[in-house]
Amino acid sequence: MQSAIPKPSPAGKILWAAIAIVGAWCLGVVALRRGEPINAIWLVTASIAVFLIGYRFYSRMIATRVLQLDPSRATPSVLRNDGLDYVPTDRWVVFGHHFAAIAGAGPLVGPVLAAQMGYLPGTLWILVGVVFAGAVQDFMILGLSLRRDGRSLGHMLREELGEVPGVIAMVGVLVLMMIVLAVLALVVVKALTHSPWGTFTVAATIPIALLMGVYLRFVRPGRILEVSIIGLILLLASIWYGKTVNDTPALAALFDFDAKALAWLLIGYGFFASVLPVWLLLAPRDYLSTFLKIGTIALLALAIFLAAPTLQMPAITKFIDGTGPVFAGNLFPFLFITIACGAVSGWHSIIASGTTPKLLANEGEARLVGYGGMLMEAFVAIMALIAAASLHPGVYFAMNSPGALVGTTAEQAAQTISSWGFLVTPAELTDTARNIGEGTILGRAGGAPTLAVGMAQLLHGIMPGEGMMALWYHYAILFEALFILTTVDAGTRVGRFMIQELAGMAWAPLKQTESWVGNIVATVICVGLWGYFLYQGAVDPLGGINTLWPLFGIANQMLAAIALMLATVVTVKLKRQRYVLVPAVPAVWLVVCTLTAGWQKIFDAKISFTAAAQKYADAMASGKLLAPAKSMDEMQRIITNNRVDMALTALFMLLVLTMLFFSLRSIVRAWRATHPTAHEEPYVALSSVAQ
């Protein structure tokens, strides 16, 4: 049932030709101008043009030919309307909800890390990746779920591929989630290490959230907006008071922690926050972080449009050869692993098959929400890249390089980074630290602090004022920490349910989510799993992010590959083989990227976990200590950690290969079949249900 594509009007043709020419021109400037720095506006304009063209042409092709969406067909929200989970909802409301659910810390962190290769590789991957992979995945999974009563990714995998691949994918999602929680918690640790101001404001969110929780429960039930405004005012007050804490030695000492201590605090926090009743701490924090997230993304956009910064980072740096300090490995495959969210993120397939398909009132609206929502996220990623690239490259590398590579004092760092060709003086580094109200900017990898400095400088350029930059910096840190911590506690809870479900298969009593024993045991396991990787990151010789981010990237792209393989299988099962390349090309690309990256992380002589373990084992054998280990026990722990990472990488590769095998098997069977074999729900006319 192919809906006819209306012929474009002459005015429409002229408009789209104009957008194409402007986009091509701006992209040409971004890609080809060498030697002189360019303005970020070129990049913004090029991106918007690419998004518009991708949306207008490619997403329409997917809607009409691949998914064959039919506006006359009743959606799950109409068929199963219960006023609670399934509710036909205005498309812009669904769009806002979907975007708020998919946008998190990911698109802000990955592009910042990838900026070490210059702004051009990251930009091109985000633009090409989102149009042909990320948005395709989100849109197609949403489309599939719409035709299947809003079923989840796991459920659809079981139906279309079989029971075994369904369970395998579930284990993959659980492991991915543990890595996500660990790496995001590590971003917070990196931002707060020896930062009394930052630690104080983040700690203050706990009593603020408790207060909000009690207010929402007993004083004015359900008044979310009201209580969020109160919460926001208290948060801003805590940022302001943070300066006093920072300047008062007795108070500062209370909030001055090293990475290990912060890791333990976060592990403890994750445990309590997920065990306590949700209304008390988890939910109010969630509300605050949701609103702050949207507000801050809007603020970032405003800052970039008003400040129109010049990109100081070169278009391409020498680190495309794989010797970069922020993450190790060549442009292929590691650029495509490092920028996951923003270009393509497997996690979205869970959301696109979660609440969103239960809200859409019409199939035709899936294009705006699925494809359009992901384009918005890509735009956030582009803005994060701009904020990082508009920093002084010397400052960027000082913040993001491990101490083991650039030294631990401003003098050493300035000297090393200048020797790489990014001239910077120690004074520039210490001035930046002083301006943002911090003791040092060294060793603040993880994207959040870099983005915060970038945002602070942009906002300060628009609204100058004595000491304002420090406030902006701590505002940006607080908002990132807030929504990361929300992800951590909500994720721990979700992980706990998943563990209880898996453990319940072995011993039934563990399955009861109401029982305190099962509850606590599963929470301890869940916190223990991500806590292990978080602690490992905190004691890692290369600062943690360097080690853990590639693992996260591999895992996230693995899930995206699984989702796109499902889309490929269903396309063939529907006997729409002509269009199989639409989901198959990005699926194959992600399989190649994850397997290559995994292979190199296991076998490469320089960048693999194996090589790192070997280096420490060799040193141990000859009785030497290698920094940052201070004892043989610590040496042994670093070796063990690297071996665990190695095993985990191997597990991810095995998962990808297994899913590839099951997908190919289903594809071959479906290709031979003479009739469509997909498990779609039968057609029901919208006109027969809706009044």
Partner 1 sequence: MNTNASAPRSFWQRAVQTARLCCGVPDYDVYVKHLREHHPERPVPSYGEFFRERQEARYRGTGGRCC
Q: Which spans of this chain sit near partner 1 (rule: CB under 8 A)?
A: 78, 81-85, 87-93, 96-97, 100-106, 152, 180, 184, 216-217, 221-222, 224-225, 278-279, 282-283, 286-287, 290-291, 294, 341, 345, 347-348, 350-351, 354-355, 359, 361, 486-487, 490-491, 493-494, 497-498, 513, 552, 556, 689-691
Beta-ladder partners of 39: 310
- Measured from the CB of residue 282, what is the shortest distance to partner 1 in angstroms? 6
Q: What whole-number distance in Å separates Cα of residue 375 and Cα of residue 356?
A: 16
Neighbours of 321 (CB within 10 A): 10
- Measured from the CB of residue 631, what is the shortest distance to partner 1 in angstroms? 35
- Measured from the CB of residue 533, what is the shortest distance to partner 1 in angstroms? 14
- Measured from the CB of residue 45, what is the shortest distance to partner 1 in angstroms? 27
- Measured from the CB of residue 94, what is the shortest distance to partner 1 in angstroms? 8
Pick 81 or 677: Cβ nearer partner 1:
81
- Measured from the CB of residue 499, what is the shortest distance to partner 1 in angstroms? 11
**What is each CA distance from 116 to 34, 334, 577, in whole angstroms?**
17, 12, 40
- Measured from the CB of residue 174, what is the shortest distance to partner 1 in angstroms? 10
Pick 193 or 290: Cβ nearer partner 1:
290
Whether omega for the bond prior to residue 628 falls within 30 degrees of 0, making it cis, is yes
Q: Which two tokens stand for residue 295?
A: 């507000």
For residues 262-286, one letter each, b for 16 or more C-beta atoms within 10 angstroms of the residue's C-beta and e for the rest, the string is bbebbbebbbebbbeeeebbbbbbb
Beta-ladder partners of 685: 73
Neighbours of 632 (CB within 10 A): 12
Q: Are 446 and 545 in contact (CB under 8 A)?
A: yes
Pick 55 or 291: Cβ nearer partner 1:
291
Q: Are 350 and 153 in contact (CB under 8 A)?
A: yes
Residues 6+ apart with CB under 8 A from 275: 519, 520, 523
- Measured from the CB of residue 211, what is the shortest distance to partner 1 in angstroms? 16
Neighbours of 670 (CB within 10 A): 21
Of the candidates 117, 144, 533, 185, the one whose C-alpha atom is nearest the C-alpha of residue 326 is 117
- Measured from the CB of residue 361, what is the shortest distance to partner 1 in angstroms? 4
Number of residues assigned to the chain: 691
Of the candidates 299, 324, 333, the one whose C-alpha atom is nearest the C-alpha of residue 396 is 324
Pick 486 or 608: Cβ nearer partner 1:
486
Q: What whole-number distance in Å separates Cα of residue 645 and Cα of residue 609?
A: 7
Tell me the DSSP string of 473-532: HHHHHHHHHHHHHHHHHHHHHHHHHHHHHHHHHHSGGGG-TT-HHHHHHHHHHHHHHHHH
Residues 6+ apart with CB under 8 A from 166: 154, 155, 157, 158
| Residues 468, 474, 480, 482, CA torsion sign | negative
- Measured from the CB of residue 385, what is the shortest distance to partner 1 in angstroms? 17
- Measured from the CB of residue 70, what is the shortest distance to partner 1 in angstroms? 17
- Measured from the CB of residue 284, what is the shortest distance to partner 1 in angstroms? 10
Pick 216 or 386: Cβ nearer partner 1:
216
Q: Where is 566: in which H helix or E strand?
A: helix 545-573
Eight-class DSSP state of 625? -
Pick 103 or 445: Cβ nearer partner 1:
103
- Measured from the CB of residue 344, what is the shortest distance to partner 1 in angstroms? 12
H-type alpha helices, 276-372:
282-307, 331-338, 348-352, 366
Of the candidates 555, 623, 618, 562, the one whose C-alpha atom is nearest the C-alpha of residue 587 is 562
Eight-class DSSP state of 117? G
Q: Are 474 and 437 in contact (CB under 8 A)?
A: yes
Q: What whole-number distance in Å separates Cα of residue 390 and Cα of residue 455?
A: 10
Pick 95 or 662: Cβ nearer partner 1:
95
- Measured from the CB of residue 642, what is the shortest distance to partner 1 in angstroms? 24
Pick 94 or 638: Cβ nearer partner 1:
94
Pick 232 or 625: Cβ nearer partner 1:
232
Neighbours of 369 (CB within 10 A): 25
Pick 9 or 688: Cβ nearer partner 1:
688
Pick 222 or 682: Cβ nearer partner 1:
222
Pick 220 or 624: Cβ nearer partner 1:
220
3-state helix, strand, coil in the chain (%, to 5): 75, 0, 25
Pick 278 or 405: Cβ nearer partner 1:
278
Pick 184 or 481: Cβ nearer partner 1:
184
Q: Which two tokens stand for residue 131?
A: 């149009």
Pick 377 or 645: Cβ nearer partner 1:
377
- Measured from the CB of residue 181, what is the shortest distance to partner 1 in angstroms? 9
